[in-house]
Amino acid sequence: MKTKERILVAEDDAAIARGLIYNLGYEGYEVRHASHGQAVLPMVNEFEPDLLVLDVMLPGKSGFEILQELREAGNDVHVIILSARTSESDKVEGLCLGADDYVSKPFSLREFLARVESAMRRIRQRRNAEDEPLVFGDLTVVPAEKTVLRDGHPIKLTPKAMELFIFFAQHPNHTFSRDGLIERIWQDGYEGTPRTIDNFVLQIRGQIEENPAKPVRLETVHGLGYRFVG
């Protein structure tokens, strides 16, 4: 059975929230609701929505503050801002903070649902692209199956090391600090220390490098972190 796509509606106006929840549910989405700004980030981490519908004027913490914190933490959940603030400067601020779309109140329900479906198409396309096998010489990384092949043979890595290497393979030639890797991959679900990343890197190098003592594929960028050379 196909898993329902998930939408979190962060809206403190009860009437608007009820309408969105009902209509999004009718369209086949799994929907949850947050009415207070302080509840949004914990719900994003727990529910892991595909799409966040985010009101700007939430009590406790504004939508702009929430959006900024999400992006600073490396969370790239698709965000549609929903707001009665319709000035050009407000729209520019929301988009510059990392919103993917901005819908002004009052709004047409049909147009809003069309925007949601358009967003979901882009999300599906991105997810499919992320799941495509990635080939780097004798290495083939299959994110959807959480496997890595070298010369056609599976290599053995612990689950955390496998997640780390898949992330590197999806972001070749980019340098990431230890803390940055933890935030981007595991967020609050990481129980080790930043230095534990070094152990995962050693494990990966033992499987993908000709000479793990002199790595050329998974490099140390001194003072900055690690980089996978694709």
**Which residues make Cβ contacts (< 8 Å) with residue 58, sequence separation at least 6?**
10, 11, 12, 35, 36, 37, 40, 66
102 located within any domain? yes
Mean pLDDT along residues 14-20: 96
29 & 142 share domain: no
112 & 151 share domain: no
185 & 143 share domain: yes
151 located within any domain? yes
88 located within any domain? yes
91 & 191 share domain: no
61 & 142 share domain: no
> What token pair was written down for 219?
């490099």
Range in 17-26, 119-128, 173-182 with the lowest mean pLDDT = 119-128
Total domains, the chain: 2
122 & 11 share domain: yes
Q: How confident is the model at residue 188 (pLDDT cuts 50, 70, 90)?
A: low
Task: List pLDDT tens digits, range 192-215.
Answer: 788 889 999 999 999 999 999 999
Backbone torsion region of residue 60, taken as left when φ is above 0, otherwise alpha when ψ lies between -120 and 50, otherwise beta:
left
> What token pair was written down for 83?
């707001």
- Phi, psi (deg, nearest 5) at residue 218: -110, 95
pLDDT of residue 2: 46
149 located within any domain? yes
Domain limits for position 42: 6-130
Three-class SS of residue 134?
A: strand
Final residue belonging to a domain, choices 97, 130, 163: 130
pLDDT of residue 66: 96
Residue 176 to residue 195: CA distance in whole angstroms: 14
Number of residues in the chain: 230
41 & 62 share domain: yes
70 & 146 share domain: no
115 & 143 share domain: no
Stated pTM of the model: 0.60
Final residue belonging to a domain, choices 74, 100, 130: 130
Q: Read off the CATH number of the domain in which 103 is found.
A: 3.40.50.2300
* Cis? peptide before 172, omega within 30° of 0: no
Final residue belonging to a domain, choices 130, 151, 173: 130
183 & 214 share domain: yes
Query: Residue 81: which H helix or E strand, with range?
Result: strand 78-83
1 located within any domain? no
175 located within any domain? yes
Mean pLDDT along residues 166-188: 87
Q: How confident is the model at residue 145 (pLDDT cuts 50, 70, 90)?
A: confident
23 located within any domain? yes
Q: Is the pLDDT of residue 92 over 50?
A: yes
What does the mean pLDDT of the chain come to? 90
Count the Cβ atoms, other than its own, within 10 Å of residue 88. 7
30 & 85 share domain: yes
pLDDT of residue 78: 92
